[in-house]
Amino acid sequence: QCDLQGLWRSDLGSNMTILATNTAGTFSGSYHTAVAATNKHILVSPLQEAQQHRSIKTHPMFGLTVQWQFSDSSTAFVGQCFVDHRGKETLETIWLLQEEVLSHKDTWNATRVTTSIFTHIK
């Protein structure tokens, strides 16, 4: 069984806190990114669950979005939680970082995508 709740550290050094699921059945939390595409001062930013499949309770799958408090971009993560034979939990995710551009001519440069692995640290 993999538990999404708690503090996670990504391969980029970012910290993500997932809070307990609320009565409506969704979670929220906060994201402290270690890196940014902008030069602005990084602020801890809220995250919202977008979707979770409750059918696979042992390795929950989820989608979440982060609303950056210091930039006009937004990021969506989708992924799944896994546990190895030693009980170490990891989130295997892929994310899209969408930047706001001034014109549709700039959309070719508006989206970044990469995979990211998080480790449950607390």
Kindly list the residues in this chain that would bind ligand BTN in the complex (CB under 6 A): 10, 12, 14, 33, 35-38, 68, 71, 73, 75, 95, 97, 116
CB of 20 to ligand BTN, least distance (A): 22
Closer Cβ to ligand BTN, 22 or 114, answer by number: 114
DSSP, res 88 = -
DSSP, res 21 = P
CB of 36 to ligand BTN, least distance (A): 4
Query: How far is 75 from 47, CA to CA, in rounded Å?
Result: 9
- Cα 120 to the center of its chain, rounded Å: 13
Closer Cβ to ligand BTN, 27 or 64, answer by number: 64
Partners of 7 in beta bridges:
17
